[in-house]
């Protein structure tokens, strides 16, 4: 099985709401080593009719486990983003195709680390050779499924602008971190509604002024302290206001020696980045003791 990786956002600025109803974003997407495990099998369809089969194992906890069950093969699989991707692909398969997908689900819904979008990106990449699509058409299909899906089609550290579909690769040092998964989620729609950004008549992407030379140098050299306070997540104050325990969590990360702590996406997951020689397994144990209701995962990039 291959990794369907999660992502973290290094900074997430939401400058304005666009006339099309979407919000303009400015961020750095980073793929991480924590994710789902997934396998795709593309077979010749018997009877000349394409078909879709999902077989999943659910390793999520609490209410998130139920959220996934609702869109798994044990619930209404037509609501799963993998099935919606299959429906988009159907007219483009070169021959009738039976698709079998095995999935081990670890990425939490409502976590801000790209669970469903990651699966969709992995699926579209794997399906491309069996279709008449070119990479540009596949990219547009991904964009129609979700704003984060185009990133997961290429999975390289990238500056993301527009609604997240305008991607420019960025030089980033190798790093390691710890991901905190609270036992509650934050819905993307409610978080965007809480920002109350003003409507802009133009939605041309502007240069992200935060990416100064010193910030880019710190990212390239892995000096995470050098971007603290400069790469910020606009959703974070709202999330902390909604769930004050997140402020305690952030302070816990800082006390543990993390050079950069942030919420990822629209939450609720937080992460801390550490020096490459840090013993993150030991730090993780300490955080688990301090926050017993949360799940913690180490990761690298």
Q: In what order do the strands lie in the sheet with 295-300?
A: 260-263, 270-274, 176-181, 295-300
Active site (annotated) includes residue 61: no
Active site (annotated) includes residue 7: yes
Q: Which residues contact 180 (CB under 8 A, 6 or more apart)?
A: 249, 253, 269, 270, 271, 272, 287, 291, 294, 295, 296
Q: Are the beta carbons of 270 and 263 closer than 8 angstroms?
A: yes
Q: Which residue has the tokens 């209701």?
A: 293
Rounded Cα distance, 4 and 2, in Å: 6
Q: Are the beta carbons of 98 and 45 closer than 8 angstroms?
A: yes
Count other C-beta atoms under 10 Å from residue 65's C-beta. Answer: 15
Rounded Cα distance, 141 and 152, in Å: 12
Rounded Cα distance, 32 and 152, in Å: 11
Q: Are the beta carbons of 64 and 185 closer than 8 angstroms?
A: yes
Q: Which of 105, 148, 176, 234 is catalytic?
A: 148
Backbone angles phi, psi at 246, to 5 degrees: -70, -30
Count other C-beta atoms under 10 Å from residue 102's C-beta. Answer: 15
Q: Which residues are identified as catalytic?
A: 7, 148
């Amino acid at each position: 099985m291959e990794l369907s990786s999660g992502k973290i956002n290094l900074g997430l600025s939401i400058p304005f709401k666009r006339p099309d109803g979407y919000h303009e974003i400015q961020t750095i997407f980073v793929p991480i080593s924590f994710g789902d495990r997934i396998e795709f099998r593309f077979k010749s369809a018997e009877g000349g009719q394409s078909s879709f089969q999902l077989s999943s194992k659910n390793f999520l906890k609490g209410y998130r486990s139920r959220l996934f069950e609702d869109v798994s093969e044990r619930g209404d699989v037509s609501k799963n983003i993998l099935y919606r991707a299959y429906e988009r692909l159907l007219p483009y398969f070169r021959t009738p195709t039976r698709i079998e997908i095995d999935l081990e689900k670890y990425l939490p819904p409502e976590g801000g680390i790209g669970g469903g979008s990651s699966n969709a990106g992995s699926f579209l990449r794997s399906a491309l050779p069996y279709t008449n699509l070119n990479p540009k058409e596949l990219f547009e299909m991904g964009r129609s499924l979700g704003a984060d899906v185009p990133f997961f089609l290429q999975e390289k550290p990238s500056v993301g602008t527009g609604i997240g579909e305008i991607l420019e690769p960025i030089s980033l040092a190798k790093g390691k971190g710890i991901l905190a998964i609270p036992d509650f989620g934050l819905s993307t729609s409610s978080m965007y509604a809480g920002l109350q950004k003003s409507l802009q008549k133009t939605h041309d992407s502007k240069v992200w002024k935060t990416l100064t030379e010193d910030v880019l140098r710190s990212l390239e050299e892995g000096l995470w302290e050098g971007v603290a306070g400069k790469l910020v997540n606009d959703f974070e104050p709202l999330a902390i206001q909604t769930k004050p325990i997140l402020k305690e969590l952030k302070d816990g990360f800082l006390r543990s020696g993390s050079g950069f702590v942030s919420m990822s996406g629209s939450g609720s997951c937080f992460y801390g980045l550490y020096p490459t020689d840090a013993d993150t397994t030991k730090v993780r144990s300490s955080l688990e003791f301090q926050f017993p209701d949360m799940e913690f995962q180490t990761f690298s990039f």
